[in-house]
Chain A
Amino acid sequence: MERKGILETGLGRRAPLLDKETWILAGAVLLLPVVLPYKTLAAEILIYALGAVSFNILLGFTGMLSFGHGALFGVGAYTTGLLLKHLCWHPLAGLLGAAMGGMMTALVMGLLSIQRIGLYFVMLTLAFNQLAFFGAYQWKQLTGGDDGLLNVPRPDLSIMPGLELPIQSSLQFFLFVWVLFIVSMVLIRRVLRSPFGRVLVAIKENPDRAKAVGYNIQRYKLIAFVISGLFTGLAGGLYALFMRMVPITAIELFTSTDFILMSLIGGLGSLYGPIVGAVIVKIASEVLSQIWPRWLLVLGLTFIVFVIFMRGGLWAFLTMIWGRVKPRRGLEVGR
């Protein structure tokens, strides 16, 4: 099968749904609660990492900078919070609701904002996030407004009658988040490696050419938005369970900028960069905020340094070092 060998040139190999990469990722993030001073931080990092990775489907893989992902995250959080608090839904059903909520919100936001490109697109998503924030702020009966949506329950997972998995302790909850995180990562990776996902990269690389060879890029952008919304909403839902409440900050513009910061620091070009970014940003803010009240300044400076000097982010830096240690062939999905 010599021809088969030739055909792989310049394209890399087919990746099965689960492979070594998956296990390494699963193992690596499983180390988080071991190395971190407290386990709650590990769960929070994974939740934000999922949000950042979902956000990066748009920025890193389609070339769309969204300032509206705080709204998607927030809608997911409120959806799960409300479903569990008032309707006593199963946590998994509540999370499914969050994913759906994120999807629907992304559909609306996407339909409006993909009509424009560049700066105008960015401003539209930003406006949408502000709209969602003030909506949540004003609608006190539903969201609790400024006080947040309090007393969101976190019931045990009933798998079947008689079998309940507890997710109360911080380690138990981390493992619950870990499972959903890995499942999401496997799915996102598959989407990005699918024919659809490759078209997204083509759109990022050259939208005019993507159109000229026959792709209806508006439709691809919209579906990318919806998929990104699904996972961002799920992350938001997990956040509601994690906090046992939904603070108004979940839907703030700052949540959007957190995702941007994490993606940029970690690296836009790869699927895993934003995870590294989430780890760094969350740990840094945890440590720095205890030492110095103006810690955001440090994050801002780091951001500037990365944008100017390390465009590929930490992930590119790490893979470069790894490449020195162990040269590796093949295609990176992102670039």
Chain B
Amino acid sequence: MILRTEGLTKHFGGLTAVNGVNLEVEDGAIYSIIGPNGAGKTTLFNMLTGEIPVSRGEIYFQGRKITGLKPHQIARIRIGRSFQQNRLFKNLTVVENVRLAQHAHEWGHFNIFKDFLSFSGPVEKAWQILEELDITSIAAKRAGELPHGQQRILEIALALATDPVLLLLDEPTSGTSPDDSVRMIRLLRKLGQRLTMVLIEHNMNLVMSISSTITVLYQGETIASGSPAEIEKNERVRKAYLGGHSR
């Protein structure tokens, strides 16, 4: 078990956005969290990555309690994340984006006396990541000038640059064209061979085709959890998606 949550809960004032969610993510899994808008998926994610504090419950990573760690500490223990809305270093080149993300995990990132290019390790590793994602051709472009589909890939590259064992991806295909979605699915499947992934996704195609386990959130609570086939048949899931308030 690589990631486990126990009764994870988030209150925003009187609103309970996430209520007692238990996740159990096995090593090597591609674990998807789905649910209609407002189900609490992103809130759940933000708790896992330390972006917002947890109201109640615990998070365990590789058996160690990580509840309350800050985002940069989460990154240091090798949990990488991507964002739903692109958060890139827009005026910097693609390779510099990745190099920066990579250098956070290597010696010398606090050095103020040496030129940043004196540290060749992060540069080499940044290039390896660009090669793995097949985006070396855009290395010298500014991140902000890329088309949306490529920016989504760079989002993944930045998460990968933190050298993660667990990758948390927030809607990797959001806003992408059908072609780009296909490319993204292929990429995620490839990454899934060597990494554990937790995805939030709206794209049912993607979810059903690559997930090993799916958890369905509805109004902050888990209403179903299981393999894609089980979820597809589940009556409560159908109702949640189709019926809206039919609880």
Contact = CB atoms under 8 A, between A and B. Distances in A.
A11 B158 contact: no
Interface stretch (A42-50, A172-180, A198-206): A198-206
- Please classify the interface of chain A as helix (H, G, I), strand (E, B), loop, or mixed, using the class held by over half of its residues: helix
Interface in B35-55: 49, 51
A11 B96 contact: yes
A223 B87 CA distance: 24
Contacts of B71: 208, 211-212
- Please classify the interface of chain B as helix (H, G, I), strand (E, B), loop, or mixed, using the class held by over half of its residues: loop
A227 B112 contact: yes
A161 interface: no
Contact of B87 (A13, A16, A209): A209
B148 interface: no
Contacts of B105: 214
A134 B229 CA distance: 72
A216 B111 contact: no
Contacts of A12: 117
Contacts of A195: 103, 108-111, 114, 116, 119
A208 B127 CA distance: 23
Given A9-B140, A211-B71, A335-B91, A199 B109 contact: yes
Contact of A9 (B91, B108, B139): B139
B52 to A, nearest CB: 12
Interface residues of B, number: 47
Interface stretch (A75-83, A117-125, A186-194): A186-194
A330 to B, nearest CB: 10
B154 to A, nearest CB: 11
Contact of A212 (B75, B109, B120, B140): B75
A132 B109 CA distance: 34
B124 to A, nearest CB: 7
Nearest to B161: A213
Given A202-B89, A205-B89, A212-B75, 6 more contacts: A11-B117, A208-B51, A213-B158, A214-B75, A214-B104, A223-B112
